[in-house]
Amino acid sequence: MNKILLWLVVLTMSFVSVSMAELSLSESRWTQEAYDLAHSGDANKGKKLAKKCGSCHGDNGVSEDNETPSLAGQKAAYTFKQIYDYKNKIRANKTMYKKVKKINIQDMANIAAWYQTQQGEKKMSNNSVPTMVSNGDKKRFLIACNMCHNPQVMNGGFQVPILAGQKIDYLIETLTAFKEDDRENDEYRVMRDIAKQLSEEEIKTIAKYYAAKVIIEDE
């Protein structure tokens, strides 16, 4: 994806809630209706429903192993969309499909609302910021990860997940899945087109930077 196109994506995403209702499904699944639904959750109802997710994602959404993503503190719209995508096999994962196949769409929003209210893990404090995260790479037409994944800038956009405090092995796995087209549920292919240009080494460095405070084996 070239730089101009990426900027268009950033701009479109920041105005998405008002303008996307006009767009066709082939352009984005984020319609006004989907946006409203994703933000309509009742956290109290979600809390009860999330009990059966705790064995893997942790009782309060902080998972205990590094391969299972934490859900605590994540933006509700992002969590909502992932549950929807697993159920509809847009994001292929057998385990998650089984866990969510019976959940109706309003309960997806309820669960997502509850996880958003939970406290995520702190990220490591003494990491230096990788250049890719802060500046991107002009040579490869890559804009900075933090242009989108930074809560300080445009609040990141409602559909951009918070990465800080996420589990390290999960971050590596899901970025590799984007890179290899094994994860295909990103709108406009935004993450696939970016991840394709990252080396394995860069993916590890970036994952280490964003990851929760954990013991990392030095390679």
In angstroms, give the least distance from the CB of 192 to ligand HEC: 9
Distance CA 31, CA 36 (A): 9
| HSE-CB for 180 with a 13 A CA cutoff | 9
Nearest-angstrom CA–CA distance, 168 and 209 = 9
For the chain, how many residues are written?
A: 219
Q: Which is nearer to ligand HEC, 29 or 32 (CB)?
A: 29
Distance, in Å, from the CA atom of 99 to the CA atom of 114, rounded to the nearest integer, reads 17
Q: How far is the CB of 22 from ligand HEC (least distance, A)?
A: 19
Using the minimum distance from each CB to ligand HEC, give the nearer residue, 68 or 127. Answer: 68
Taking the complex as a whole, the smallest distance from the CB of residue 150 to ligand HEC amounts, in Å, to 10
Tell me how far, at minimum, the Cβ of 158 lies from ligand HEC, in Å.
10
The smaller minimum CB distance to ligand HEC, of residues 36 and 54, is found at: 54
Closest among 105, 2, 114, 95 to 51, alpha carbons compared: 114
CB nearer ligand HEC, residue 32 or residue 208 = 208
Contacting positions for ligand HEC (CB under 6 A): 6, 9-10, 52-53, 55-57, 68-69, 71, 79, 81-83, 93, 95-96, 99-100, 111, 132, 143, 145, 147-149, 159-161, 163, 166, 171, 173-175, 185-187, 190-191, 194, 198, 206
Supply 71's token pair: 């859900």
| Residue 114 CB, nearest approach to ligand HEC (Å) | 9
Give yes or no for a contact between 21 and 33, defined as CB atoms under 8 angstroms apart: yes
In the complex with ligand HEC, which residue's Cβ is closer, 21 or 202? 202
Tell me whether residue 32 or residue 169 sits nearer to ligand HEC (CB atom).
169
Contact 190/32 with Cβ under 8 angstroms? no
Q: Is 2 left (phi over 0), alpha (psi -120 to 50) or beta?
A: beta
Residue 49 CB, shortest distance to ligand HEC, in Å, is 7
Residue 65: is it exposed, middle or buried by C-beta count within 10 angstroms (0-12/13-18/19+)?
exposed
